[in-house]
Structure 1
Amino acid sequence: MGIKVFSAGFGRTGTLSLKLALEELGFGPCHHMKEVLENGPVQVPLWHAAADGHADFAAIYKGYNSAVDWPTAAFWRELAAANPDAKVILSTRSAESWYSSFSETILASLLAKESWPPPAVPWLSMVVKVVINRSLGGRTDKEGVIAAFHAQEAAVKAEIPASRLLVHTAKDGWEPLCAFLGVPVPETPYPRTNSKEEFFQLMKGADKI
């Protein structure tokens, strides 16, 4: 195995839908924060180490063929260099709609430290390192967060060759994604999942890791 395709887009840009899409197209298993949550004893220490400058991608992505969402998005440069043949997707949406979703889900959860379930503290502490410290440069105000979103997208577009990169929104559906990956378009609808309600349902599993 090895990472054949990954997304550099921030969480809440349709990443769970993209995960399901990549798995349906034969590029699974696909790594997503959901896997970190479900495999906390293995994944959380590895990502803590990565956030502290000691990434072991071989261990992190063992058994995976693709990756989307955070923590991956915070390490896109390193992952692109470590997997030079991997294709890169930039999952995206409008900055304002992304901020609305992100601020009401991920950011709200990370900033509410007083309500973190004790078993989830190691995981959420890692997510703070990866999302707030690394991806957002420590900013949590709207202006700073949106600036970080734009900076991430600009850097990916500037540094990844166009032949290796697909900028993709969930509403683009199957066609551009399948053309980019060189696979047939499925007859099934493109996945639509991970609403705000589904996000908080997933978060309820955090007290069991």
Structure 2
Amino acid sequence: MLRMCVRNICTSNKSMSNSVLLKEIAHNLKIVTVCPNLIIRHFASDIEEDKKLERIYYGPLTPQIKAVKVFSLSSSVAGLLAQPIIIREAATIGSTSLLIALSSVVGFFTFVTPLLLHVITKKYVTEISYDPTTSTYKATTINFFLTPKELDFKVDDVVVPDIPGMFTTLLAKNKPLFIEARHFTNPKYYAKMMGYDKPMDFKLGEQDTADK
């Protein structure tokens, strides 16, 4: 009798443990099957967003600008690292004028050159993408640390100045941008962006009604 009871208890425990293991395995399988679906959906949404955007412009000077900025930033870092050594060596000579001259030259190439390059190149548009579903343009520029900076705008946000400034073709949300018409994949995008498709105003000036 005792053996029978022990066998029954063992078989019941085994069946319970097997059922628990099966439940855990089924739960884990559900998690495993759900996670790939989420990952697939995430990547599918990113691919769909990329397909919506059409690249309509590419700045041909983008590689050169990146190379010049990389060289400028690397030289600035090297100048910062070498500045204490240069000052120490100049101090051993004992000439104050030489110390001031060396410090000014090193400081110019360390701080002024990268800032000057950034002021010149921050308006240069490296790429423009167009979303036909929302009629939205996405302009990409390069910031001080060589990371892309994107700006979303529409045609209504564009203002073409009567007297464009230096390296400024248009203003998108009050941000100056520099683009070239010949590098668009289709001239209609440039014409629409610049407002050439709108009716022209031939009014030469407002006349004073009092003089009439």
- As a proportion of its length, which structure holds more strand? 2
Greater Cα radius of gyration, structure 1 or 2: 2
